[in-house]
Amino acid sequence: MSSKTTFFIANWKMNGLPKNYKEINKVGAFLSDKYKQFKKIIVYCPPMSLLTYFSKKNTSKLLNFGAQDISVTQLDFGPQTGSVSPKMVKLGGAKFVLIGHSEKRAKGDNFDTIKKKIISANKTNLKIIFCIGESLQDYKKNNAINILKKQLSKSLVKNLNFNNLIFAYEPIWSIGTGLVPNEKYLNKIFSFLKQYLKDNYKINTAKILYGGSVSADNINNLKLISNCSGFLVGGASLKAKNFIEIIRNYYT
Ligand code: PEP
C-alpha cells in the first residue's frame, strides 16, 4: 500500500468561505507528521472564488491546489464574461483541474466541450483529473463499459501529454448518495479502463482514481480495488477531521 503514489483529491464543489482555510491547514499539519513517509499527492479543489486565497495562504509543501473547471476557450485573456482560462487558474495557484465532472456534464458540458477543455488544459500544462462514469440507468442496464468507452474516445485526442492525465471513475449514482459499487464491480471497471487506455492510447501505467461517496468507513474496502491510484472525495473532504480519517485509514 505504501510503495505507490496515492492521490487524495478534495473537491469542495460550491462550498467554502475564507475562514474554512483552517480545515486545509489542519490537513497540512497532519501530513507533516508521521504520514510523511508515504508517497501521496493531496490536492484541494476549492471553488474559483477561494483558489488564489487558499493557495497563497498555504505554507505546506505537501498540499496542492486545483481548479474545479476552466473555460472552454484557448484564450489566456479576452472578452469571455464569466469565464476563467487555464492560464488564469494556473496563475491563481492551480496545478490540477477537474474536467468532465458529472455535475458539469449535467449543466451542459458535452463531449466536445470536454475535449476542448482537455486540450487547453494540456497546452497550459495543468494536470487534468478527467472524470468519467455511468448513470444509474446505465449501471442497471449493465452498460457502464460502453458509456466509459464513449466518454473516453469522444473527448481524448491522441497527441495529449498523457503523463498529465489522471482518470477518475465516478459512477454518477454514487456521487453524494452514500452508495458505493461492490468490489467485484469496481475491479471489473478498473481492469477494463487500464486495458482500454493501454490498447487505445498506449498509456501503460494509467492513474485511475475512484470517486463517489468515499468516507472513512468505506475506505478500507475501497483501498482493495486493483489498479486504483487514489480517490476523489467530495462531501467528506470539507471537514479536516473526515479527510484525515480517510487518509489515516487508508494507510493503516
Ligand atoms: C465528487 O464530487 O466528485 C464526489 C465524489 O462527491 P462525494 O464524495 O460527495 O460523493
Mind giving me the DSSP string for 98-136?
A: EES-HHHHTTT--HHHHHHHHHHHHHTTPEEEEEE---H
> Is there a catalytic annotation at residue 170?
yes
How distant, in Å, are the alpha carbons of 79, 97, 100, 169, 201 from that of 134? 35, 21, 12, 9, 21
pLDDT in tens, the chain (252 residues): 556 899 999 999 999 999 999 999 999 999 987 677 789 999 999 999 999 999 999 999 999 999 999 999 878 999 999 999 999 999 999 999 999 999 999 999 999 999 999 999 999 999 999 999 999 999 999 999 999 999 999 999 989 999 999 999 999 999 999 999 999 999 999 999 999 999 999 999 999 999 999 999 999 999 999 999 999 999 999 999 999 999 999 998
Q: Which three cell numbers stand for residue 242?
A: 473526515
Q: Which CATH class is domain 6-250?
A: alpha beta
> Where exactly are the structural domains of the chain?
6-250
235 lines ligand 1 (CB under 6 A): yes
Atom nearest to 211 CA in ligand 1:
5
Q: Is the pTM of this model over 0.75?
A: yes
d(CA 48, CA 13): 10
Give the SS3 label for residue 97.
strand
